[in-house]
Structure 1
Amino acid sequence: MSGSKLRSRWAALAGAVAVVLLISGCGSSAMQERKPTDPVAVVSFEPGDNSGEVNPVGAVRATVERGRFDSIALTNADGKQVAGELAQDGKSWHATEALGYGRSYLWSGQATGEDGKTVPVHGQFSTLKPEKTIRATINPSDNAEVGIAMPISLKFDKPVQDKAAIQRALTVQTSVPVEGAWAWLSDRQADWRPKEYWPAHTHVSVQAKLYGQSYGDGAYGLADLSTEFDIGRAQIVKAAVGTHRMVVLRDGKQVASYAASYGEEYDPGRNTPNGTFIIMEKNPVEIMDNPRYGYHDVRKTWASRFSNHGEFIHENQENAAALGKINNSHGCINLSAADAKAYYDSALLGDPVEVTGSASTMPPHFDVYDWLLTWDQWTQKSAV
């Protein structure tokens, strides 16, 4: 290779290096002149900013990435703060109370990023406004002591469309294992009963998380419900119509056998019908009417109702001659005054009354008819 060619190649190479150094030098200068970066902390919300129709019992939280909250608050349109909890690391906050229906909420506060720069906390959302709300009641009430056949009953002031959703919001906890199920007895009533009678002395807790639940057709639950109650001793009335006796079993042992008169056997309208019922109500004095059979304002004492069809266990001292001998009542179980009071004093609401040997059987139409259904019939009324 000649000397002139070697010199020209070195000149070309030197020129290329000069161009690279020039470009590199320009890049370094640009880096030094760049503007400051944005803060690294990023705040996000659930539900998202400007969300509408938010369910008031849904998750409500704020989080910050690459930083922590210095302060944060969620307030309604009246300026009242929503109760909440800030995580120990300061990176998240969540509401600890349900929100209201049809309300607007505002986020406020400040977060500081890992770079020491602050960002404001601001955002808003609104909750759904139901077309209507549904009120419910629950029985037994708190701290009640009830009999071994007592169902748990939820009653609603308007028909429930989405029964499955509501049933999934209901829980029953028991101190000992108990098999049971919910059944919808109407569009406005759901009952839970055990497959067999409750074990004596069971403690029962019920939670109905109804607030924020959609009932369907634009309706939502008005409030949550709960109750805790206890099952008492195991007392059962054995009412065998043909024996003219009413036998009381307590914890498996016979504790009483009362001379009784049941409903007239040859008149279906006066039968004491077959079936398993419960003591629904107790009144020291009951005023009775039956226009079909021509009596009004009849005063009877120590009355324990066991059917809304009109059957009671009660005193009928005027019928003393028939007690233990003849069935001639209008469907009630007549006892002497002393025996009626003794039974009345021993009875709990929810005690079962098992009527057998009658000429007719009670159809499952009258409240409470839970124990007139077989277990298969009962479970078929579940919505889930």
Structure 2
Amino acid sequence: MQHSRRGPEVPAGPRPRRRRLGHAALATAGLLALAACGQGGSSASEDSKPSGGAASAQGGAAGRAVTVSPVVKGGKVIAGEPLVLTAADGRLTSVTVTGPGGEALDGKLSDGGRTWTSSHDTEYGTSYTLRTQLTASGGGTVSDSSRFTTVSKDEVFVGTYNVNQGQKAGVALPVSVVFNKPIDDRAAVEKKLKVSSSPAVEGSWSWMKDRDGKDRVDFRPKEYWKPGTEVKFTMDLAGVKNGDLVGTQKREIDFTIGKAVVSTVDVVKKTMTVTENGKVLRTLPVSTGKKTFETWNGTMVVLSKVPSIRMDSSTVGIFGPEAYDMESVKWDVQLTPSGTYAHAAPWNEGRFGRVNASHGCIGMSTADAKWFYDQVGYGDPVTVVNSKDTVAVNNGYGDWNVDWGTWQKGSALS
């Protein structure tokens, strides 16, 4: 069974940078209680401009203005972000911003009164009334009242991403962004996405359709990340035009690559060898997919872990004599949204290392499953060899099953 991946949307305005959780934390918090072991279905703007919030000169004083930001698409203000007001001259002494119901946005002055930032985000498709009072640098007071409108959800496109600020990820984790609406100008969007690292790596973005048909773009290095690599993902889509839509997001996410925990499953030998930074930790006897339910070949990447889960074969389209519904399967490591897990399978005791008897998952004893569960984390690779049908690139993170030259050609800027 599939669970969601990634999190939404930091404006272009001059405010202190906020960092938000992306998908990885959301996925951990929102794991579905229902899963199944099996293959399931596979398969491979307008330019920013000043808003209408400029205060007119009053009382003979000239050259004063209050600028509203972040602004995009015909002067409308980006929604879902804190509002920033900036005095072009002097300092703000009083600010009141009210919505349709008369509810005021709280906020704080900074920079000696030159800037005011709301404590809460603005709503989509909403008109606000702005009342300000300024003290000019040369003396005198200017009061003003004006209105502005935020963009509606129908006017914007957003991307959800799979990394969190400050998290530690496995060596095989790509940076992945899935968009809520079709991307007509992939080159324009890709230009505003950046991944940098220390040490530096050779890497590339590549576009694909996610399993639900949404446009998705992943960045992966040519080879696995090195342990300890510090990675920065930057998304600067505010004002980017995409047909009749416009981007609003501005994000900066820093994360670190952890130990190189790499697992290799040989379906012929019926073993799984787990290494850490190149050193073999253990070789475990396993039971993989039986005939017509073969475990995917190729490299999969750990998506999530849960200590116990219900596995219902109907969620991956298995019915009839092969159907099953197990209430509490232990030590589950998810490898694909289509239903591939590594987990405890005590019902196959005596077959580990001898017979492949699962519906596509990697089964092992309860003790071995607990040990494996404790070793691996989000983004660690698990490569299956000597099986059939390579896992699709969009079935989780099958990015590593595409040769480097083909991967690079998937970039809109190649």
Q: Which residue of 2 aligns with 1:53?
A: 74
Q: Which residue of 1 aligns with 2:406?
A: 377
Cα RMSD between the aligned structures?
A: 4.0
Q: Which residue of 2 aligns with 1:10?
A: none
From 319, 337, 362, the counterpart of 1:291: 319
From 241, 244, 259, the counterpart of 2:285: 259
The letter of the residue matching 1:352 is: P
Q: Which residue of 2 aligns with 1:234?
A: 260
Give matches, 1:6-25, under 5 Å.
none
From 232, 249, 264, the counterpart of 1:205: 232
Q: Which residue of 2 aligns with 1:177?
A: 200
The letter of the residue matching 1:307 is: T
Partner SS for 2:389: coil
Shift of 1:200: 0.5
Shift of 1:234: 0.4
Confirm or deny: 8 A CA contact 1:76 1:103 kept in the other structure.
no
Structure with more contact order per residue of length (Cα contacts < 8 Å, sep ≥ 6): 2
| In structure 2, C-alpha distance between the alignment counterparts of 1:350 and 1:272, rounded to whole Å | 19
| In structure 2, C-alpha distance between the alignment counterparts of 1:305 and 1:293, rounded to whole Å | 25
The letter of the residue matching 2:376 is: A
> Which of the two has higher C-alpha Rg?
1
| In structure 2, C-alpha distance between the alignment counterparts of 1:127 and 1:312, rounded to whole Å | 48
Give matches, 1:340-359, under 5 Å.
340-359=369-388
Give matches, 1:22-37, under 5 Å.
none
| In structure 2, C-alpha distance between the alignment counterparts of 1:379 and 1:76, rounded to whole Å | 51
From 361, 364, 371, the counterpart of 1:335: 364
Shift of 1:171: 2.3
Shift of 1:112: 9.0
Q: Which residue of 2 aligns with 1:217?
A: 244
Aligned pair in 2 of structure 1 residues 262, 166: CA closer, same or farther (>3 Å)? Answer: same
Q: What is the aligned residue count? A: 326
Per-residue CA deviation, residues 45-66 of structure 1 (Å, 9 max, x unaligned), is 999xxxx923758xx9998xxx
Per-residue CA deviation, residues 336-363 of structure 1 (Å, 9 max, x unaligned), is 1111111111111111011111133334
From 149, 168, 189, the counterpart of 1:166: 189
| In structure 2, C-alpha distance between the alignment counterparts of 1:380 and 1:343, rounded to whole Å | 36
Confirm or deny: 8 A CA contact 1:315 1:334 kept in the other structure.
yes
| In structure 1, C-alpha distance between the alignment counterparts of 2:387 and 2:261, rounded to whole Å | 22
Q: Which residue of 2 aligns with 1:155?
A: 178
Aligned pair in 2 of structure 1 residues 83, 161: CA closer, same or farther (>3 Å)? Answer: farther
Which runs of no fewer than 5 residues in structure 2 stay unpaired? 1-60, 68-72, 79-84, 99-103
| In structure 1, C-alpha distance between the alignment counterparts of 2:396 and 2:320, rounded to whole Å | 21
State the TM-score, normalizing by the size of structure 1: 0.69
Shift of 1:122: 9.6
With 278-287 and 359-368 compared, the bigger mean Cα shift is at 359-368
Confirm or deny: 8 A CA contact 2:92 2:115 kept in the other structure.
no
| In structure 1, C-alpha distance between the alignment counterparts of 2:193 and 2:336, rounded to whole Å | 27
Q: Which residue of 2 aligns with 1:326?
A: 355
Give percent identity, aligned residues only.
Answer: 28
| In structure 2, C-alpha distance between the alignment counterparts of 1:345 and 1:70, rounded to whole Å | 59
Confirm or deny: 8 A CA contact 1:43 1:121 kept in the other structure.
no
Shift of 1:233: 0.3
| In structure 2, C-alpha distance between the alignment counterparts of 1:339 and 1:77, rounded to whole Å | 59
From 271, 279, 289, the counterpart of 2:294: 271
Partner SS for 1:338: helix
Confirm or deny: 8 A CA contact 1:201 1:232 kept in the other structure.
yes
| In structure 2, C-alpha distance between the alignment counterparts of 1:138 and 1:366, rounded to whole Å | 16
